[in-house]
Amino acid sequence: MNLLEHYQQYPDTFLINKHPDHDLYLIKYMHAGIDWSIKGALDARGLILDGDGNVIARPYRKFFNLDQLNDYDINGVATRRNLPEEILELDQWENGPYVTTEKVDGSLIIVFVYRDEIMFASSGSFTSEHAKKAKALFYIQFNTYQISEMKNIMNDCTMLFELVSPNFQIVIHYAVEKLILHGIINTKTSANSLTETLEFADGLDIERIKVYDYTKDYLLKIKAENTEIEGFVLRFESGKFLKIKTDDYFEKSYSNEFYISDMFTKAKLITIVNAVIDDTFDDLMLGAEGRTNAKLQLGQVYKFVIDARHELQVHKDFWEDGAYPEPKEIAINPKYKDVKHLIFLAKSPEARWTKFILNKTLSKFVRTK
């Protein structure tokens, strides 16, 4: 059994997104109730495989916020989840050397070379608006020499950028649309060196993440006081990463009131759908930690949106493969009666997909305004 076949065994745990033009598959974990001890679950954050299960591009492994793997009883007392110890260790501060980097409030962009072509993906899709924007921006922001050097290194490595843009603002406002380099990973071995990434970026004058020399006490002080950044990523010498988000960022993202009552209101469903589409659902789920009902409802909406988008993508792939007849035939053939609206929608711009999925989600779940 190859690696792709392994992930295909878990259709309710992993989203497998096929590239529209190549035999490539992007693997992304589902969010609700995932068992992180499943083989490969931590790697499924935009892992890209070919049809034989070979790794073509490798982003970071899933890494957690400090104390993210806690649950809480009705009195607010934290308890550790029932997970293997090696998983529970991933959200704890490690006693060992580390480097602190800024956690940029953007969208992960995975850049790699396949068959001599530079390709782009977000952590969940080859064809998301973020991936398309990143591709266009890449050829504007970087000159011919920079692109040539990056392509050379991508023969063996995957490059990881953060896309920030006033048009894709999550919480923190960035006035300038740009790509910020934060990682270069050996695609085969998963080895990565922050020092080598910084040297490569600085040598080519490529914008990269900021690095800080903070003690633990000072970092926790900044966490409580800073209002201008999302937070920090600690990169331990052992290879483990740990997220520390500022208190202000959490407050700006979603208030506690968002999670206390029913998720199935129109306003909340719009927020949830946009978070799934914009690939910021991780942060939404983080605020639901310890709130069983909220997590359950968020998971239901997430799967519904993902399934709706997947259905449209299947029809789009059929169009591109020439599997459908002429539009006139589809319009009059009873065979397509119940799905022809989806078939035609699949040919339209993805902005129309979003509007359709939002309305479909509201129709399915909404209980109150």
Instruction: Give tens-digit pLDDT for 60-94.
Output: 999 988 887 776 554 556 678 788 899 999 999 99
What's the confidence (pLDDT) of residue 77? Answer: 62
Candidates 196, 236, 249; CA nearest to 101 is: 236
Q: Could you give the C-alpha distances from 89 to 14, 133, 245, 291, in angstroms and in order?
A: 23, 36, 18, 22
What's the confidence (pLDDT) of residue 71? Answer: 63
What's the confidence (pLDDT) of residue 30? Answer: 77
What pTM was computed for the model? 0.77
Helix and strand numbers (H, E) in the chain are 14, 15
What's the confidence (pLDDT) of residue 74? Answer: 45
- Contact of 182 with 197, CB cutoff 8 Å: yes
CA pair distance 18, 310, nearest whole angstrom: 10
Q: Is 46 helix (H, G, I), strand (E, B) or coil?
A: strand
What's the confidence (pLDDT) of residue 284? Answer: 75
CA pair distance 13, 241, nearest whole angstrom: 23
**Do the bridges between strand 211-212 and strand 231-236 make them parallel or antiparallel, or are there none, so unpaired?**
unpaired
Question: C-alpha angle 304/310/311, rounded to 5°?
Answer: 90
Q: 205 phi and psi, to 5 degrees?
A: 60, 45
Q: Is 2 helix (H, G, I), strand (E, B) or coil?
A: coil
Percent helix, strand and coil across the chain, each to the nearest 5: 40, 20, 35
H or E, element range at 299: helix 292-320
Residues of the chain with pLDDT below 50 are: 74
CA pair distance 70, 87, nearest whole angstrom: 12
